[in-house]
Amino acid sequence: MMDVAAINQLLAQMEQAKALAKGGSVSEPPATAGATTDFAQVLDAALKEVSKQSAEAKAQAERFVAGDPNVNLSDVMIDLEKASLSFNQMVQVRNRLVTAYQDIMNMPV
């Protein structure tokens, strides 16, 4: 299971960055007030969680194929789909980060 608090915090940071980019002012949400979180740490934790989730889904699928009676096909399929969705979400985040980097690099100095 992905760390929902870390994802919510990352989303809040992204909303703050979006508001700043549009020229608005940003008020810190009460849940993160006083707490400082490094974007790289949150991103690293999310990547590790996606990797862990993918490995767990693969292991569960292998146990099902091996004939483990404690593993249901529906659970395997759900876990594989969750892992796939998590991976696709991280690919989209990566794409957005690359696009943002390219936009910054193309700005006139």
Residue 24 inside a domain? The answer is: no
How many structural domains compose the chain? 1
Confirm if 93 and 85 have CB atoms less than 8 A apart.
no
Look at residue 3 in the predicted model and tell me its pLDDT.
Answer: 62
Residue 26 inside a domain? The answer is: no
What residue numbers bound the domain in which 90 lies?
A: 4-18+37-105
pLDDT digits (tens, 9 = 90+) for 73-106: 999 999 999 999 999 999 998 899 899 989 989 9
Print the SS3 string covering 5-45.
Answer: HHHHHHHHHHHHHHHHHCCCCCCCCCCCCCCCCCHHHHHHH
The span from the CA of 24 to the CA of 4, in Å, is: 27
Place of tokens 């810190």: 28
Which two three-digit tokens encode residue 24? Answer: 């608005």
pLDDT digits (tens, 9 = 90+) for 45-73: 888 999 999 999 999 999 999 999 999 99
Look at residue 60 in the predicted model and tell me its pLDDT.
Answer: 95
Confirm if 86 and 2 have CB atoms less than 8 A apart.
yes
pLDDT digits (tens, 9 = 90+) for 1-51: 456 676 777 677 777 776 666 665 555 554 554 556 787 888 888 889 999
Confirm if 2 and 46 have CB atoms less than 8 A apart.
yes
